[in-house]
Chains A and B, each alone.
Chain A
Amino acid sequence: MEKTVNQKAWFLVLPVLVLVAFSAVIPLMTVVNYSVQDTFGNNQFFWAGLEWFKEMLRDDRMWDALGRQLLFSAIILLIQIPLGVFIALNMPKKGFWVSFCLVVMSLPLLIPWNVVGTIWQIFGRVDIGLLGYTLAALGIDYNYTSDPFAAWVTIIVMDVWHWTSLVALLAYAGLKSIPDAYYQAAKIDQASRWNVFRYIELPKMMGVLMIAVLLRFMDSFMIYTEPFVVTGGGPGSTTTMLSIDLVKMALGQFDLGPAAAFSIMYFLVILLISWVFYTVMTNLDKREG
């Protein structure tokens, strides 16, 4: 029987294409247009060529913010991925506690970013915050408004509190999809707990872990609201991440040209690192498979 070729299904994709065009492609094109021009407002633009890119590439401010951002994302991934997997492995698999754990784990994910920032800003205060007050009572010198180390610890712990559940829930979904036959076979072979994890659970979780790594990397690399609310990028500029710096430049100083050049480079770095993660993990998956 001859196969029917029908291309009409492509029309079903049209709404998504229109949505993506208006929410991503057209704004990105506009940013590219801004990056090669200068403006003083009133929708008047003057050709600047590659000047803004050159200026940004030779500006220590951007490199410092990029360094801080990479460090932040690396720390976040190193903590959240293993911790999320550990929590998922220890979550109950059957009974009443499954629903209870799932609801409790989902709670931090439902809180808006600015509220999370406000919660931790108050929580960490030495005068009225439970965390700050307790640490001060224990004799620990903790003040996130004046000590860069304390500020970093605060925003990292805050992010871990906010987002580890996502990794745990994804890993849990991956674990639940493993058929019992695999565990039975491992039992017959008298495999150790580590071997079960290494040769059954981890390979089977690889797909969802890849999504978790990508989501957490992209989210942490674009983080803005929580550190902005807690530290405002300070003390000094020690917690000024790329997005905070970018907003200061684009909206605070109204330097649209340099901010557009900055945005494009920011976008390219995210694209590169996401592609590397995706490629490495899908290839690992294929080799394991």
Chain B
Amino acid sequence: MEWMAWTWPTAIFFMVIASLLITFTVLAIRFPETPRIGVLRIETTRGDRLFITLLGSAFINLAWLGLTDMVQWWALGVCAVYAFLVFRYV
């Protein structure tokens, strides 16, 4: 595993992603849902909304990094608001 050059921050990052995927898989099995149509006018399930959240969060973080010199943790706050909006309205 040494060749993979692991660090604690990246390990935590992947653990968070893995636990999100496991949680949403369990939720999908235990509480199946029908897709809904939100503000984007596209059908989405919980899994789709998670994907939109994660992909959007990656771009929010990149934009924050490229456009501002402020601390990166604030971008995480913006991502949390974005995630709430996606799960509520998309």
Contacts and interface: CB of A to CB of B under 8 A. Distances in A.
A91 B7 CA distance: 56
Given A29-B4, A271-B55, A286-B43, A58 B72 contact: no
B3 A43 contact: yes
Interface stretch (A47-55, A78-86, A120-128, A193-201): A47-55
B42 interface: yes
Contacts of A39: 5
A13 to B, nearest CB: 13
A57 B55 contact: no
Interface in A20-41: 26, 29-30, 32-34, 36-37, 39
A180 B66 CA distance: 56
Interface residues of A, number: 25
A-side interface mostly: helix
A33 B6 contact: yes
Contacts of A272: 55, 59
B74 interface: no
Given A53-B65, A57-B66, A275 B55 contact: yes
Given A32-B13, A268-B58, A279-B42, A47 B65 contact: no
B66 A275 contact: no
B55 A53 contact: no
A265 B6 CA distance: 20
Contact of B65 (A26, A45, A54, A286): A54
B5 A268 contact: no
B-side interface mostly: helix
Given A53-B62, A54-B65, A286-B43, A43 B2 contact: yes
Contacts of A30: 3-5
A53 B66 CA distance: 8
B7 A36 contact: yes
Nearest to B67: A57
A283 interface: yes
B4 A26 contact: yes
B84 interface: no
A36 B62 contact: no
Given A32-B14, A50-B65, 9 more contacts: A33-B4, A36-B7, A39-B5, A47-B7, A53-B62, A268-B62, A272-B59, A275-B55, A283-B41
Interface of A: 26, 29-30, 32-34, 36-37, 39, 43, 45, 47, 50, 53-54, 57-58, 265, 268, 271-272, 275, 279, 283, 286
The 6 A-B residue pairs whose C-beta atoms are closest, nearest first, are A57-B66, A33-B5, A45-B5, A30-B4, A33-B10, A283-B42
